[in-house]
Structures are given as structure tokens and as C-alpha cells.
Amino acid sequence: MAAVGLSGALVYQLFTFLALGGSLGRELEETTLNQSRNQSVIAGRVEYGATFALLREVPQGLGPGVVPSQRDVQIGKSGLADIGVGTSSSYVEESMFGNRFEVHSIAGDIWVQFGIGGVGLAAALLAVLIKTVTRCVSRSTNTRIELAVLFLAYQGLWDLLFSPLYANFRSFAFVCGVCVALTASANRTVEAQEPVGV
């Protein structure tokens, strides 16, 4: 588990370093620089500014199919402005705050629609994905199937944190189904191997 966390932190630091150095494009360099000045939690992912602002003001979420009110939009935009992001671009006006909120993470989108229950679901899915990654990484020998599952679990983690729900719900549901099935299968194997007390 510690190895997974450490490798994730190292990858994050590498990408932040590359972004700040301009290796990943001028726009990402400017965004990352602005976010680092404003102590943004997730460098390079501006939507989290809006997500955290909305979470503070509307912790219960908005509800499924609810069109964001003008107040909700202003709260989201103020969260973007707090991390140095412009709020008048077509992406912000049309994609993030058009007919629905699009906060560009499955976890955030689930929270927007289902509130605290959505947060619980996202946390459970995160736990399953991390458990799958940990199980695959800790094995000394990995089959091709396990390596494929490891790839899927990493993709699921990425999507949960950084990909929009509307475009990724099918692939994410498939990944989570595979990981849940693998976890259940591994638990049954462990139970079958435990000695029965007399």
C-alpha cells in the first residue's frame, strides 16, 4: 500500500515539475503556476477549484438532473477564480456550467448528483480500486490477466479522480465490476484455504 502511495506521489511530482518547466505546454505551465501560488490542491486540474467551492457551500450536492442555479454557478466560478483561473472561457461557460455541472471527475460528478450518498459510493469505489492495485502490486509473480487488471484499476483510479462521468461511466463501471469480481474471488479463495476449527 505504501509503495502504491509513494509511486503515485512521485508521478504527481514529476508531472508538476514538467508542467512548471513548460514541458507540457504553455497553458498548463501558466495554470500550474497560478495554482501553486494559490495553494490549489490538485495542480493542472482546474475543475477542482469549482468542486471544492461548491462542496463547502452546498455539501448535500444538487441532485440528479438539476440545472445549476445562477448562485451555484457563481460559487463554482469563485472557486476557479480563487486558484487563478479565468471564468469567462467557453469551456467554463458551456462545458462546466452549461445545462449541468461538469466538474471533470467521476467522484465530483457523483457528489454533484447524489450528495453525501455519492461521496460514500465514490469512497467505496476508491477503496475497491486501491485494494485491487495493492493486491496486484504485492504479488511476486503476475499473470497477464493480473497485469491487465492492474492497468484497468489504475485507469479506474484516474477516471474516478480526473475524468468526467458522462463520457466515462461505461468504461468505469466495467473496471469497477472487474475489480469487485476479483476482490470477491480472492476473498472466497482465502476463506476456502483457512483451516476449519474443531
* Segment 16-26 mean pLDDT: 74
Give the angle subtended at the CA of 48 by the CAs of 35 and 25, to the nearest 5°: 50
Q: What is the pTM for the complete model shown?
A: 0.68
* Segment 83-93 mean pLDDT: 79
The residues that bridge with 101 in the sheet, in sequence order, are: 97
HEC letters along the chain: CHHHHHHHHHHHHHHHHHHHCCCCCHHHHHHHHHHHHCCCCCCCCCHHHHHHHHHHHCCCCCCCCCCCCHHHHHHHHHHHHHCCCCCCCHHHHHHHECCCECCCCHHHHHHHHHHHHHHHHHHHHHHHHHHHHHHHHHCCCCCHHHHHHHHHHHHHHHHHHHCCHHHHHHHHHHHHHHHHHHHHHHHHHHHHHCCCCC
Domain residue ranges of the chain, discontinuous segments joined by +: 1-44, 45-104, 116-190
* Segment 52-62 mean pLDDT: 87
Share of the chain above pLDDT 90, in %: 14
Averaged pLDDT of the chain: 79
Give per-residue pLDDT as tens, 131-178.
888 888 777 666 777 788 888 898 999 899 888 888 889 999 999 998
Q: Does the pLDDT value for residue 42 go beyond 80?
A: no
